[in-house]
Structure 1
Amino acid sequence: MKDRQLPNDACPGHRRRNPQRIALTVSTLALALLSGGTARAEWFHPDLERASAEVESAKGAEGYAALRRVWATWDRANPDQVEQVLRLASENSKLTPSTRAYAAMLAAYARGRRGDLTANRKQLRDLGFVDRWLVVGPFDNEGKAGLAQAFQPETEFASAIVLGRAYSGKERPVRWREAPNVFSYGFVDLGSLVRPEQKACGYLTSFVKSKAGKPKQISAWVGASGAFKLFWNGNQVLEDTAYRGHDAERFATRVKLEAGFNNLTIKVCGEASAPAATVRLADAAGKPDADLEFSNSVEHSKLAVKNAAKKVEVVAPSGPLGAVQAFEKTISSKKPSAAALYAYADYLVETGGDDPKEHWARDYALRAAEQEPSVKRLLLAGDLSEDRNKYAAWVKKAEALAKPDDVEVLLARARLARSSPAWRDAIPYYDKVLALDPDNLEGLEGRIELYNEAGLKRTALEALERAVEKSPESVTLLNMYASQLRALGRATEAEEVESRYAARRFDDRSYLGQKVDLAVTRRNTRAAQHWTSRLLEADGDSLWAYAVSAQTQRMLGQPQRAVAEYKRALDLTPEDVGTMRALADLHAETGNREEQLALLRQILQIRPQEQDVREYVEHIEPPKPRSDEAYAWASKRFLKDRLARPKGQNKRTLVDLTVTTVYDNGLSSQFRQVVFQPLTDSAAATSRQFGFAYQADSQRVQLRGAKVYRADGSVDEAIESGEAAADDPSIAMYTSSRSYYVQFPRLEPGDVVELKYRIDDVTPVNEFSDYFGAVEYLQSSEPIGHAEYVLIAPKKRKLYIDTVRLPGLKKTQEAKGDQQIYRFSMEKVPAIVPEPAMPPWPEVLGFVHVSTFKDYKAMGTWYWGLAKDQFDLDDETRKLVHDITKGKTTTLDKVKAVYGWVIENTRYVALEFGIYGFKPRRCVQTVARGWGDCKDKATVIVSMLKELGINSTIVILRTGLRGDFASQVASLAPFDHAIAYVPELDLYLDGTAEFTGSTELPAMDLGALGLLVNQGDSKLVHLPQIDPKSAVDTRDITAVVDADGSAKLELAYETKGTGASSWRRRYHAEATRRARVQRDLGQEFPGIEIDEGKAGIVAGDLEDVEQPVSMKIKGKAPSFARVEGKRLSMAVTSNYRLTPSFASLSSRKLDVPLPALGTSKNTFSVKLPAGMKVVALPSAKSGKSKFGSFELQVSQVGGEVKVTSTLVIDVARVKSSEYAEWKKFCTEVDSAFAQRLVVEK
């Protein structure tokens, strides 16, 4: 926790970026060494010298980063000297009042680090850091929408706070309460106060008054982890929408302190991490004001109401500037200086002030380095690079400017070497660093690590001993020294060194935890109590510290003290499930069953998906069936149907039951009962294994029963179960989905198999906010005796339900307590008989569709909130975009350039784990990595086009592989793909189609159901179908026929449109092209031999996806013509026939979805053998229907016959009601194209 809020807490391995060595100014050095008026000859660590000099020379806001670097030397330099330098800085009149206060804050941190928390707190309070708060939360911040949303506490500044009043919070009601005064560093961490703490907002309120009782102007200084709004007497006076790391003094404004109590409220919102806030109140200039008094008394809220604004307004900041405001001012000109850009980037890095979505630090550092390159600017740009390769490029540039003995460049080279397979290459760099700067801690650390990896532990120890002798106060060196002694078995000496370390790092939680563990192991109660007290004193806002203390008391045989510690933890975080569980376990040990059960029930109210808790409660309470499993059929009920006469089927399902329980947070549990009966030997053999899928990272499977009911009345159990990954390495797709298998003993026809299992969500939070959606199928290709879906949901959750293609469905709905129960059932459900060329099963089977989304607008708004931060760009990517499109003038050309870059430079790799099955990764990250899945590629396309000023949107898609989706309810369940759309061009772009041109949609996208996200203003559409005018396959074949039926062939192909991508993919590799062409042509021309050399196959530019595919082939077909006595019979049309593929049945019940056929044109020019004449010439024919058209043109000139066949398919689907007409059309086409050319001598 502290590592986040004190971001420059120096630690072993901390990467430092120090300027060139410069001498400490005489005045600062003299002051730093003064003690009682007498100078002592003390050695200053070079890093502290450099950082101190930076503070002296800093101008304005530059002082914050310089002070952070002073603080960062704590673990390297003498802590006494570090604290003294900070004290001197806090009194330095050259610095601004805010910077002096910042230095004093760090000096107070130093007191806390030395163990003097009383002085630490007093000094922070004297500086004006507010430490009395009321808190309410969490409120929802899904999609970062919470900051802009005025939750109820934000609308009630004119009313007094009532502690018991409930507000609608994130997942459950929330109430105001007093925040325990346990935060020792001037900030309040909502991660220690509320649950859930992620994607949440909270309000902190304090009441401020002047002790003198007179109105006056004061200033407020704010820093936050996450975004914030600051309210003063109900008016919004400050706002920052960036999601930064925590640090103080970022923003400031002047406010009027009225007589009496004034309401100070800060709203903080976090995303991936919990929000935190720091507020300092000072005089109008920013100096500490001892006249201010803070309170979190509810009684004082009543008094503050009279100062509440009559009309709530947003008031522009005025007065002094916080650090971010000051830096923003320095770079506000059209062309800010490289020094200003570097200083701002440096501040953002040192204080954690960047927003990961915006990467301002990277952009400013890059611009500074490019504008006026210097070693330190180039290295900072490198440190902020997205990946190692870019970092190496920046280091190389810095190396070109630097002197050969530049320590920082040498360290950068060492880091690169250490992160490479050839890590030993770092040794000479570390040697050079230590030769130039023997006190360089990073160099020494690297050298020690390499000694240890080489097995030279004693050599490493000797090096550490020399370093510690020179720097006996260095915290990091003492830590390394102690670890090395322990590694060599010298525990006593290690403990002595650790005690020296602990005197300088009172706040090291890991060290304190180790001391507690050691004391417990030794059964030293007194030492254990000492170390736990110290841990709680140093880390009083940490649940982990309370847990360590409670566990210690528990192990020392003092359960009541352990209970007290857990209750203190719950006072801090009342809804922390981990603490509740630990306390419940303790109550169980002490026999306090009522308290245990009360806590367990409370856990289930907060987190109903805790299945092990639910099972335990059910175990220790009076036995009763689970509410969802009570719907299962007893065996005697379904076994009476086993003797029903089969109706020609191989297998039938007797019962197919699904019971889903939805919780308030959208998570769910599912119970399934499946009873089936194989009726033939083949079905019995294939039914021995039953499988189903689940998500391994968020769900748990529990097998509740697996039985085989034999014909003789005996009952067998399943013999084994197991699971396997459901990844598909062939397309580089890896997911958290796993397949669970149940293996049954040998089955005989007529045996009845019953399987019962559960799939429970077990993740602590719903990554999809409170969304729930499901599609449950109640039909199958087998007959089902009883199909039922039961949905149990909270009454307060609005569910949207649709039933599709379920004739005879019975629906009931009933209220039971605080739950609503929906039941959908069907009896004697007939099998859906499969047909050739049928739609995919998900389109055919009837289903129940459930969702918590009201409509697709609501779903689009939610999805945009989830994904919007991923459409990020940094300056490098912006530059790349403009380089890609350089010289392009039209929108289409620019779009083609961006699309072409994406498909060529980003490989398709899908890592579909957790939320990233739906949430794209950041654009900048995907560009840097060079790989991504469909969502990632679409995000890159949309982000790049936005930089060019071209409007586009990501599209969530249901591919044709899953068929159409007829439901009117909106949910994520139907969708499985993502692409991009450019409205200006009405153009869809699939970044995963790596051999597809920008105007050639892949076949799986044609006609697909899609949701245009449109930044939340979503729209449901169907993508266009194939245009037969733009999807044309042309083939010209010239055949010189010999009398034996062989022929010399020249074939010319051109393919454009959807089919072109398959040609590029198949024939792209020149090494395999000849073999593949010969294999493919051999299906039509058996035994064909392609001419040797390059003339045999001449392919067009298969790299250019924007051009049609063309290919010319020369070869000889030994059996081009069929020899029939003295006659030769030849096929002079394509061998592709419609009837066998799409019209083989006499009648149909299901539609016929057609592939992307488009237009096909084949021309055969046949040169007859000498002396032969035509006996039978194909008749010219043509026809047209609503499905398309065909034409056969025939001509003869002397000994050459030319036959041109053209087929145009205008539809993408044939409805079952149109099948008779379609079959007739297919028959006509096939009949016309089946005619052969016959010749004889």
Structure 2
Amino acid sequence: MTSLTLRKLCFSLALLACLFVFSAFAQDKEWRPLSVEDRTATTPVVEPDADAEVLFWEIRVDDSTENLVMKHYVRVKIFTERGREKYSKVDIPFRKGIRIKDIMARVTKVDGTVSELAKADVFDREIAKTDKIKVRAKSFAIPNIEPGVVVEYKYQEVYTYGSAEDMRMIFQHDVPVRSKAYYFKPAMNAKYLTFNMSDNKFVKDKNGYYKASMENVPAIKEEPNMPPEDEVRSWLLLYYTDAAKSSTANDFWSRAGYSIVKNWEIKDTLKPGKELKAAAATIAAGVTDPEEQMAKLFAFCKTNVKNISFDTSLTEEQKDDVKPNKSTADTYKRLQGTTTDINELFASLATSLGYETRLAFGGDRSEKFFDPGQAHESFIHFSSVAVKINGKWKYYSPGDKFVPYGLLAWNEEATSVLLLGYKDYVTTETPYSSPQESVAKRTGKFTLSEDGTLTGTVKIEYTGHLSNEFKLDNYKESASKQEEMLKDMVQKGLSTAELSEMSIENVSDPEKPFTYKYKIVVPKYAQKTGKRMFIQPGVFESGSSPAFSTATRKYQIFFHHPWSEEDDIELKLPKGFELDNADVPRPIADPSNISSLNIQVGADQKNGVLVYKRRFSFGSKGYTLFPASSYQPLKGLFDAFHNADTHMLTIKQL
């Protein structure tokens, strides 16, 4: 089988396209018997309000031959019109090296009438293209689907010269499942790690297969600010291993570290030659402070070395054709390279100045929270370069083009890492950033007319993680698309807003804040009643919704990173109007000072200008992950923030 990343992509796309990945129970063409109870059922078993429910879902994985073969069979009951809409179309994703064969589908109505899929109704189409990966699908519409029917699918996947190594077996999905089972026939000694599952183990079955199953599995319910899916769903990771080797986590990481050091040629990176030593001395010339030296090396790697990974002038195919760098000396000589090349060059330069330097391999918090006790190499990747400055490890990633000096990407922060040298490794954690390092600074100068129309100019600057996120979203897009995205963002809160003279700055600049500038007109922004108008001075929070709307919570609450907001607004009132009610929300903060909101309102009566200042901060001390048991106080805190942000003032006509 190809890499875990590709397999995950296929499974994810399948789920996004509302496909069940199922397992055929047998080689023959016959369908398994359908009971009268299931055929005539009117209510779900696992979740009473489900739109559809999988009756069984089986995947038979045969890795005992040169090709990996996966036989799928699913049976699902449709209960509502939403369920019918969701499962009316099927996409079976595949890519190069995978064959999809023996597709069968049928629908059984409550009265026992059966409709089968015709072979001619199956067609190929491209469903996704992500970077270098093109994914196609065998697609078909389900015949005669309606509430009450039972839908069944069968098909086979054949991976040419594939392997089940590092296969993820998913037991929980966005639909409730009465029974989910994997039958696995291994090629050699296999082990597995389970996540969010009770003591579900493989048990010996027939014909060399082993079975792992779960019953009555509830659907994953999407919640705002929930952890990555691998942290909440039930799944296991299958891998092959030498039964004779020790299985402790420390022993595993010692072996894995040795393998990574060898495969990544870390010794060559951390023992640079004369050319790189001379280059480092030149780059840092005249600077003796360690942090200033690192800043010099960082700036050189980020601005002087062309980053092919972020080069919009090249297609992915053209990037593949670029001759790879063989060493950090090669990267320096050519002054171009990938994100990885640039980070490795930084490591060589830092080592050249005499600093203890290591390559950091850690988890990706956008996918899973890495725990070294869960010993598997797929959970880590080369994330940054660690340099010991004044006895403390500092982390750098100049290859991440839009991540500023002093930060790592949010998904690389606050996670366990293995710091690899060419002789040993150190286990530690990357630091978290502060709210003040990721700021949304929003400035507005507005005029309110007598009919309630708001007009003015806006400038919004994003720093830190916020800037990185906006740049990643925008740098590949055309100017018109960038403006369209800005309009959509503003109109999400102010649906009638009209924008003009839009300027989007520093989209591709590696360090400067991502900046929006525009003029805005919002008809009927103020509500007029007789001689009074009601206005929301916090223009940038107008139309916002509460962060958490449900009374209860199932999963942990996860914010990607700390951040802060600074709003400075001047609002010129209509001629002949003055403040009638200028009460201001009290400052809000939690007892642990993790978050705070402070709003100040003033008035320049002489010039008829209302001055509004708002300061918000969240995630102090790195608190961004909270247990579900903290939901009620956290919801109460954000409800208080929302009430203060949407506070109304009254102005009256003299």
TM-score where L is the length of structure 1: 0.41
- State the AA in 2 paired with 1:1229: F
Q: Does 1:1032 align with 2:439?
A: yes
Q: CA deviation at 1:1121?
A: 4.2
Matches within 5 A, 1:1125-1144: 1125-1136=530-541, 1140=545, 1142-1144=547-549
Label 1:1011 to 1:777 Cα distance change in 2 as closer, same or farther (>3 A).
farther
Q: Aligned residue for 1:850?
A: 238
1:1177 is displaced (CA, Å) by 0.5
**Distance in structure 1 (CA, Å) of the matches to 2:101 and 2:203:** 28
Does the aligned pair in 1 maintain the 2:585–2:647 contact within 8 Å? no
* 2:405 aligned residue: 998
Which amino acid in the other structure matches residue 1212 of structure 1? Answer: T
The match for 2:634 among 1198, 1213, 1222 is 1222
Distance 1:631 1:1011, change over 3 A: farther
Aligned partners of 1:1128 and 1:1238 also within 8 Å? yes
- Residues 879 and 688 from structure 1, CA distance in 2 versus in 1: closer, same or farther, beyond 3 angstroms? farther
**What's 2:589 paired with?**
1184
Query: For the Cα contact (< 8 Å) 1:813–1:823, is it kept in 2?
Result: yes
Q: Deviations over 1:1167-1214 (max 9, x none)?
A: 444543220113241121145111222334534443322221123233
Q: 1:650 to 1:868 in 2, by over 3 A?
A: same
Deviation at 1:790, TM superposition (A): 2.9
Q: Which residue of structure 1 aligns with residue 154 of structure 2?
A: 756
The separation in 2 between residues aligned to 1:1237 and 1:1154, in whole angstroms, is: 31
Cα displacement string for residues 759-780 of structure 1 (whole angstroms, at most 9, x for unaligned residues): 344339x7xxxx9222211122
Counterpart of 1:811 in structure 2 is 201
Aligned letter for 1:1132?
A: P
Asked whether the equivalents of residues 661 and 668 of structure 1 are also in contact (C-alpha less than 8 Å), the reply is yes
* Structure 2 residue matching 1:1058: 3-state secondary structure: helix
Question: Is the Cα–Cα contact under 8 Å of residues 298 and 398 in structure 2 kept in the other structure?
Answer: no
Measured after TM superposition, the shift of residue 846 of structure 1 is 0.7
1:703 to 99, 102, 106: 102
Q: Distance in 2 between matches of 1:1113 and 1:983?
A: 42
Matching residue of 1:980: 384
| Higher share of residues assigned helix | 1
Corresponding residue of 1:863: 260
3-state DSSP of counterpart to 2:260: helix
Q: 2 CA distance for matches of 1:951 and 1:761? A: 45
Per-residue CA deviations over 1:221-273 (Å, capped at 9, x if unaligned) read xxxxxxxxxxxxxxxxxxxxxxxxxxxxxxxxxxxxxxxxxxxxxxxxxxxxx
Matched, 1:645 2:42: yes
The answer to whether the aligner puts 1:781 opposite 2:169 as a matched pair is no
Please tell me whether residue 894 in structure 1 is matched to residue 313 in structure 2.
no
Cα distance change of structure 1 residues 1149 and 682 upon mapping to structure 2, 3 Å threshold: closer
Q: Deviations over 1:449-491 (max 9, x none)?
A: xxxxxxxxxxxxxxxxxxxxxxxxxxxxxxxxxxxxxxxxxxx
Corresponding residue SS for 1:999: coil
- The residue that corresponds to 2:559 in the other structure is 1154
Greater shift, 1062-1071 or 1197-1206, is seen at: 1062-1071
Contact 2:370–2:415 (CA under 8 A) maintained in structure 1: no
Please give the per-residue CA displacement for 1:1047-1090, whole angstroms capped at 9, x wherever unaligned: 66454544322112345567889966888767765666755666
Question: Aligned to 2:167, what secondary structure does the other structure show?
Answer: strand
For each residue in 1:1116-1156, what CA deviation from the matched residue of structure 2 results, as whole angstroms up to 9, or x when unmatched?
Answer: 76656443332233322254389835311111112232244
Q: Is the 8 A contact 2:360 2:419 kept in 1?
A: yes
> Would the aligned equivalents of 1:791 and 1:822 in 2 still touch at CA under 8 Å?
yes
Task: Give the Å deviation of 1:806.
Answer: 2.6
What is the identity, as a one-letter code, of the residue corresponding to 2:212?
F
**876-885 vs 935-944, which moves further:** 876-885
Structure 2 segments unaligned to the other structure (5+ residues): 1-22, 242-246
Considering only CA atoms, is the larger Rg found in Structure 1 or Structure 2?
Answer: 1
What is the CA–CA distance in structure 2 between the aligned matches of 1:974 and 1:718, rounded to whole Å? Answer: 43
How many equivalent residue pairs? 590
Kindly indicate whether the alpha-carbon contact (under 8 Å) linking 1:1193 and 1:1205 is maintained by their aligned counterparts in 2: yes
Partners of 2:116 and 2:155 in 1: how far apart? 17
Percentage of identical aligned residues: 17
Change (3 A) 1:881 1:826: same
Give CA deviations for 1:122-170 in whole Å, capped at 9, x if unaligned: xxxxxxxxxxxxxxxxxxxxxxxxxxxxxxxxxxxxxxxxxxxxxxxxx
Offset, 1:1223: 1.3
> TM-score w.r.t. structure 2 length?
0.73
Whole-Å separation in 1 of the counterparts to 2:339 and 2:92: 25
Greater RCO between the two (CA within 8 Å, min separation 6)? Answer: 2
Q: Is the 8 A contact 2:229 2:367 kept in 1?
A: yes
Aligned residue in 1 for 2:212: 824
1: CA distance, partners of 2:29 / 2:94: 21
**Shift in Å at residue 748 of structure 1?**
3.7
Name the SS of the counterpart of 2:57 in structure 1.
strand
Deviations 1:57-105 (A, max 9, x none): xxxxxxxxxxxxxxxxxxxxxxxxxxxxxxxxxxxxxxxxxxxxxxxxx
Letter in 2 for 1:676: V
Distance 2:185 2:79 in 1: 35
Q: Conserved in 1, the CA contact under 8 Å of 2:407 and 2:433?
A: no
Q: Mapping of 1:7-86 within 5 angstroms?
A: none
Give the Cα separation in 2 of the matches to 1:930 and 1:885: 17
Alpha carbons 1:718, 1:745 under 8 Å: kept:
no
Q: 1:802 aligns with which of 193, 205, 210?
A: 193
The answer to whether the 8 Å contact 1:923/1:943 transfers is no
Q: Which residue of 1 aligns with 2:602?
A: 1195
Counterpart pick for 1:1105 among 510, 513, 529: 510
Asked if 1:1209 corresponds to 2:618, the answer is: yes
Encode CA deviations 1:933-981: one digit per residue, 9 max, x unaligned: 6555545554555556555555556544435467954335556x65322
Question: Comparing both structures, which one devotes a greater share of its residues to strand?
Answer: 2
CA distance in 1, matches of 2:423, 2:143: 53
- Match of 2:465, SS state, is coil
* 8 Å contact kept, 2:203–2:212: no
CA-CA distance at 1:757 after TM superposition = 3.4
Is the CA contact 1:856–1:1020 (under 8 Å) kept in the aligned structure 2? Answer: no
1-structure distance, mates of 2:315, 2:191: 31
Q: 5+ residue gaps in structure 1? A: 1-625
Counterpart residue type for residue 383 of structure 2: I
CA contact (8 A) 2:452 2:533 kept: yes
| Of 967, 970, 983, the match for 2:375 | 970
Which residue of structure 1 aligns with residue 183 of structure 2?
790
Matched, 1:1163 2:568: yes
Give the secondary-structure state (helix, strand or coil) at the position aligned to 2:510. Answer: coil
Asked if residue 675 in structure 1 is aligned to residue 52 in structure 2, the reply is no
Q: Which piece of structure 1 moves more, 653-662 or 895-904? A: 895-904
Q: Indicate conservation of the 8 Å contact 1:1157/1:1209, yes or no.
A: yes
